[in-house]
């Protein structure tokens, strides 16, 4: 039984082209080019998963569990396969083909249990309790893990690079400063950061712009980290962080609001409420800066792997749909700034750190979770590089009753960006 050869034959019939990657199977057989990316099938369980789930989810489960591995550059292999898909030369294998091959390779059997890293959420979509569980699945992984992979500010969002080779820490500083300048922050103003992560925005705004900053998060580990930063940096009384759902904020309106890559977690049906909440919490003539990932009009957002392992219940839409929601809530759009290429560089920096510190990552979160992140970052960089996803900063204003939008000051550095 030459497993790799039979798998290669099936793959070439499905792809309609010669294999761009190699195969190596548990019986020692090889097929396809071996001098680049090679898919290693370590056990029959990998194929059993594909029999039961012949799609992205089946592949992801096999990879996360270690039953399937990739030697060589994972991102290159994904790019090669996606290139064939884009050219429309793939076809779904017939059920009879799959059954015959499964019988020959003796892989028929019960569906293996999903890896423990897979999200298991309960309850109605985007209820407060389910949202807490969804956020906890990803963001409460380990503060030590995120401290290892991210820059020192622990900004977990697209950075802003002035050159492709700029260090990530400086690029994240650039992004935070860009947000502050677009919001027109001045000493004494009150800033609300919705979905504040590990506090990079509220700490930066308080330290460098003299504002009183409030952050809300539904991640207990994020809040614990921020409380430590507030004390360490002497910002007690100037920075507040709450374990609070955005729907529960009832403060007097703020001078400015930032919300950085939070809207993806809100859900399509809840987005009008999210937008109206931002409007309600913003003073007349106040500014909102929303940074959010988007998808192209004809491109899928998320996918089975992302939704099962990384960001459960995430929803992405074209940027035009997001601006429509904001306008529907009564906000006036003043600027849309696309940062797609910057996310490629951001994700590559995270991926490089992950690989350089692989053993430390595995010791912190386990090999399965480390594999989730390797696949997540490789696929994410490719998705942004190929334009199937983007990220945008949307600047909006709440108009006053007399129609003023509070935007007379245009800082020179924004015009020259």
The CATH number of residue 228's host domain is 3.40.50.150
| Same domain, residue pair 137 and 200 | yes
| Same domain, residue pair 68 and 146 | no
| Same domain, residue pair 136 and 34 | no
| Same domain, residue pair 286 and 201 | yes
CB 104 within 8 A of CB 2: no
Q: What pLDDT does 166 receive?
A: 97
Concatenated DSSP letters of 327-375:
HHTTEEEEEEEE-HHHHHHHHHHHHHHHHHTHHHHHHHH-HHHHHHHHH
| Same domain, residue pair 144 and 186 | yes
Q: What pLDDT does 335 receive?
A: 97
What mean pLDDT do residues 206-210 have? 98
CB 56 within 8 A of CB 304: yes
First to last CA, the chain: 61
- Given a cut of 70, whether residue 355 has pLDDT beyond it is yes
Tell me whether residue 110 is exposed, middle or buried, using C-beta atoms within 10 angstroms of its C-beta: 0 to 12, 13 to 18, 19 or more: exposed
pTM of the model: 0.90
Q: Where do runs of H (alpha helix) occur along 140-187?
A: 143-149, 168-183
Distance of CA 250 to the CA centre of its chain: 29
Q: Strand, helix or coil at 34?
A: coil
Within a domain: residue 117?
no
Q: How many domains does the chain fold into?
A: 2
Q: Which residues pair with 242 in a beta bridge?
A: 216
Q: What pLDDT does 131 receive?
A: 85
Neighbour order of strands in the sheet with 254-260: 239-243, 212-217, 190-194, 254-260, 282-295, 389-398, 331-338
| Same domain, residue pair 73 and 155 | no
Alpha-carbon separation of residue 101 from 20, 38, 293 (angstroms): 21, 21, 40
High-pLDDT (> 90) share of the chain, %: 65
| Same domain, residue pair 139 and 80 | no
Q: Which residues 6+ apart lie within 8 Å of 201 measured at CB?
A: 155, 176, 179, 193, 213, 215, 258, 260
CB 406 within 8 A of CB 397: yes
| Same domain, residue pair 257 and 170 | yes
| Same domain, residue pair 273 and 362 | yes
| Same domain, residue pair 270 and 376 | yes
Q: How far apart are CA 16 and CA 311, in angstroms?
A: 33
> 243 is in which domain, residue-wise?
128-414
Mean pLDDT of the chain, nearest integer: 90
State the pLDDT confidence band at 410, using cuts at 50, 70 and 90: very low
Q: What pLDDT does 348 receive?
A: 96
Within a domain: residue 110?
no
State the pLDDT confidence band at 90, using cuts at 50, 70 and 90: low
Q: How far apart are CA 276 and CA 27, in angstroms?
A: 59
CB 396 within 8 A of CB 94: no
Within a domain: residue 112?
no
CB 374 within 8 A of CB 271: no
Examine the fold and report which residue of 105, 137, 152 is the final residue of a domain before the chain moves on. Answer: 105
| Same domain, residue pair 269 and 316 | yes
């Amino acid at each position: 039984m030459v497993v790799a050869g039979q798998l290669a034959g099936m793959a070439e019939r499905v792809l309609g082209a010669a294999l761009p990657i190699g195969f190596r199977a548990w019986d020692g057989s090889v097929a396809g080019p071996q001098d680049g990316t090679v898919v290693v099938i370590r056990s029959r369980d990998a194929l059993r998963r594909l029999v039961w789930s012949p799609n992205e989810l089946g592949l992801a489960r096999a990879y996360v569990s270690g039953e399937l591995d990739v030697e060589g550059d994972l991102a290159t292999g994904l790019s090669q396969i996606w290139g064939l898909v884009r050219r429309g030369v793939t076809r779904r294998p017939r059920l009879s083909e799959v059954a015959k091959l499964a019988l020959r390779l003796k892989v028929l059997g019960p569906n293996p249990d999903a890896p423990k890293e897979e999200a298991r959420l309960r309850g109605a979509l985007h209820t407060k309790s389910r949202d807490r569980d969804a956020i906890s699945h990803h963001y409460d992984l380990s503060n030590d893990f995120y401290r290892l992979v991210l820059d020192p500010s622990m900004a977990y969002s697209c950075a802003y690079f002035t050159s492709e080779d700029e260090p990530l820490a400086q690029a994240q500083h650039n992004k935070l400063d860009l947000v502050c300048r677009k919001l027109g922050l001045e000493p004494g103003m009150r800033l609300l950061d919705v979905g504040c992560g590990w506090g990079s925005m509220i700490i930066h705004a308080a330290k460098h712009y003299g504002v009183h900053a409030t952050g809300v998060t539904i991640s207990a580990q994020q809040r614990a980290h921020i409380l430590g930063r507030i004390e360490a940096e002497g910002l007690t009384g100037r920075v507040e962080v709450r374990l609070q759902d955005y729907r529960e904020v009832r403060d007097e309106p703020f001078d400015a609001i930032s919300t950085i890559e939070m809207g993806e977690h809100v859900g399509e049906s809840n987005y009008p409420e999210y937008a109206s909440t931002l409007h309600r919490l913003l003073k007349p003539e106040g500014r909102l800066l929303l940074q959010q990932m988007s998808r192209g009009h004809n491109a899928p957002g998320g996918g089975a792997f992302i939704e099962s392992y990384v960001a459960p219940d995430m929803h992405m839409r074209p940027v035009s749909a997001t601006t429509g929601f904001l306008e529907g809530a009564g906000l006036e759009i003043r600027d849309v700034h696309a940062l797609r290429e910057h996310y490629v560089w951001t994700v590559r920096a995270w991926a490089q750190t992950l690989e350089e510190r692989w053993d430390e990552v595995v010791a912190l979160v386990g090999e399965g979770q480390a594999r989730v992140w390797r696949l997540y970052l490789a696929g994410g960089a490719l998705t942004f590089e190929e334009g199937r996803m983007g990220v945008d900063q949307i600047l909006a204003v709440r108009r006053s009753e007399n129609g003023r939008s509070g935007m007379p000051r245009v800082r020179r550095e924004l015009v020259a960006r």
